[in-house]
Amino acid sequence: MSAPLVVLAGPTAVGKTGLSLELAQRFEAEIVGADSVQIYRGLDIGSAKPTPEEQAQARHHLIDVAEPTETFSAARYARLAEEAVADIHARGKRALVVGGTGLYIKALIFGLAPTPPVDQELRARLKQQWEQQGPQATHQRLVELDPATAAKLHPNDRQRVLRALEVCLQTGGPISRRQQDHGFASPRHPHLIIGLQRPRAELNQRIEQRARAMWAEGLLSEVESLLAAGVPPEAPGLGSLGYRQAVAFLNGQMRSDDALFDMIKKTKAYAKRQLTWFRGAQGLVWHDADDFLGIGRRVSPFLS
């Protein structure tokens, strides 16, 4: 039997980082990140990546493992996270998985439905279609081929929209059917998922405050440095929330106030989608994000 995993999940800005550090110190655990932006090197401010001081309080894994130019899949995440968890347990430590990327968490706990390897020629054609016709038209094509998957994906989620189209076109069938057959019914780890929540108005206020702080404290300079180092504006990492608005401002496509407003608006919408995702997660127990004592009691049987 695999060693148990405790997962600390929830929407952006709910307070996962601070609580994870308290839990890691209390239970002598190491933190395995589950964040699709914090995996990128150089994307620090806009991803709310734990600071060097915070990382010094507990060892972190799955942070800074890819370049912003790389496409990073859930399958790759699951493989690296599994290796990190095995290493942590082999050293007699405990693993605490922390993040808001539901697909990463699901892939680690349940594995993924098998899909064909990437056809580079097909991928290049689909990327060209995305650039020429735009996200909405590309997403509409997925609606026609795999409506179940399309309903779960935002039209701007280029990586997952294109991957779903690839599977449809390579296999003649929707990826949603493969996922249904897989079932995600047999976990690879005994697990507890703590879902952190706050009242919606409070969460939205925290999102807005954090976005304004990022904008004021160096997000634009961070993106300028990445672009100056040769990272193209269309790189996967720079397509993330906050980064794409910063790129649009720096390229003269948006005014500063408009870019910041768009960042706040879309981050709130993203948090809503995260909450919807986690409400369907197997084995998830909700707790108020400030309920450290209650969460500690819940986690204790798994990490003690």
- CATH code, domain with 43: 3.40.50.300
First vs last C-alpha separation in the chain = 17
Kind of pairing, strands 191-197 and 94-99?
A: unpaired
User: In residues, how long is the chain?
Assistant: 304
pLDDT band at 44 (very low <50, low <70, confident <90, very high): very high
Range of the domain at 32: 5-112+189-303
- Across the range 8-24, mean pLDDT stands at 96
pLDDT tens digits, one per residue of 199-235: 999 999 999 999 999 999 999 999 999 999 999 999 9
Q: Are residues 131 and 147 in the same domain?
A: yes
Average pLDDT in the 77-95 region? 94
Q: What is the pLDDT of residues 275-301, one digit of tens each?
A: 988 987 877 999 999 999 999 999 998
**Total domains, the chain:** 2
Q: Are residues 92 and 239 in the same domain?
A: yes
Residue 98 bridge partners (DSSP): 8, 33
Three-state SS at 166: helix
> Left if phi > 0, otherwise alpha if psi is -120 to 50, otherwise beta: which for 99?
left
Q: Count of CB atoms within 10 A of residue 73's CB?
A: 18
Q: Using DSSP bridges, classify how beta strands 60-61 and 284-288 pair: parallel, antiparallel or unpaired.
A: unpaired
The reply to whether 93 and 210 lie within a common domain is yes
Q: Are residues 163 and 196 in the same domain?
A: no
User: What pLDDT, on the 0 to 100 scale, is given for residue 182?
Assistant: 46
HSE (side-chain half, CA atoms, 13 Å) at 140: 6
User: Does residue 37 share a domain with residue 79?
Assistant: yes
Claim to verify: residue 164 and residue 227 sit in the same structural domain: no
Q: Which of 226, 172, 177 has its CA nearest to residue 42?
A: 226
Higher pLDDT, 126 or 198: 198
Is the pLDDT confidence value at 112 over 70?
A: yes
Tell me the whole-structure pTM to 2 decimals: 0.81
Burial class (CB in 10 A: 0-12, 13-18, 19+), 203: buried
Distance CA 144, CA 298 (A): 44
* DSSP 8-state secondary structure symbol assigned to residue 64: S
Of 181, 211, 232, the residue at which a domain comes to its end is: 181
Strand partners, 95: 30
One domain, residues 260 and 201: yes
Domain co-membership, 193 together with 79: yes
* Amino acid identity at 166: E
User: Which domain CATH number covers 173?
Assistant: 1.10.20.140
